[in-house]
Chain A
Amino acid sequence: QVQLQESGPGLLKPSETLSLTCTVSGDPLSDYHWSWIRQPPGQGLEWIGQIHDSGSSNYNPSLKSRVTISVDTSRKKFSLKLNSVTAADTAVYFCAAYRGGWSGVGPWGQGTLVTVSS
């Protein structure tokens, strides 16, 4: 059973780059799509993007110009970079696994709060 854990800085200043890592334990990384989703305080879920272990990726069009998702299958980690952050990027960031096809998205990490404040 795959388990995921997010890690990274919890506080950033405006214009900095958000960098988060998701560490995967359990099943190997192959044949999974690895995703990032965020949730501003008190609001709904927003999909950020996903990457397949082959390196193929797609992103939310509204964030695409600022987002990079990468995967390191040998180290069983995948990462999110979001540049030029503002207060609007303050959110709980979740990583999640998706096996592709009709299967649903899960499991998820527990989430990590990132606050952007000067």
Chain B
Amino acid sequence: DIQVTQSPSTLSASVGDRVTITCRASQGVDSWLAWFQQKPGKAPKLLIYKASNLESGVPSRFSGSGSGTEFTLTISSLQPDDFAIYYCQHYSAYSPWTFGQGTKVET
């Protein structure tokens, strides 16, 4: 099975900072990679799909890049609402999904 590993597990940042989170897949997954944001007590919210496509309604300060085994989520200028936990996810229609272990962005 394909595993995805995120780094770092915790990230300390300030409002206005550029933030980058990395996700590595144990084998090539093409662009079958998504990013989610989760806040306490809430369901995850889709930010990026197909590695680099911004979900409708998500601010343009979020961006994704990569393909194959290495992917990144970038927040160009961290806003107060962005302090949360971020997960990457390998997905596809007919094979098992896996989630990264999460990256907590804190002040």
Contact = CB atoms under 8 A, between A and B. Distances in A.
Interface of A: 33, 35, 37, 44-47, 50, 52, 56, 58-61, 94, 96, 98, 100-106, 108-111
A118 B76 CA distance: 48
Nearest to B32: A102
A103 to B, nearest CB: 6
B93 A104 contact: no
Contacts of A46: 99
A46 B44 CA distance: 12
A108 B44 contact: yes
Top 6 closest A-B pairs, CB basis? A104-B49, A108-B43, A106-B46, A47-B97, A102-B50, A45-B99
A1 B93 CA distance: 21
A32 B46 CA distance: 17
A58 B94 contact: yes
Give the most central of A45, A50, A52, A110: most B CB within 10 Å: A45
Interface in B25-48: 31-32, 34, 36, 38, 42-46, 48
A37 B46 CA distance: 14
B43 A104 contact: no
A33 B93 CA distance: 8
Interface on chain B toward A: helix, strand, loop, or mixed SS? Answer: loop
Interface of B: 1, 31-32, 34, 36, 38, 42-46, 48-50, 53, 55, 87, 89, 91, 93-102
Contacts of B101: 44
Given A61-B96, A102-B31, A45 B44 contact: yes
A92 B35 CA distance: 20
A51 B70 CA distance: 28
Contact of B43 (A58, A101, A109): A109
Residue of B1, B94, B97, B101 most packed against chain A (CB within 10 A)? B97
Contacts of A111: 43
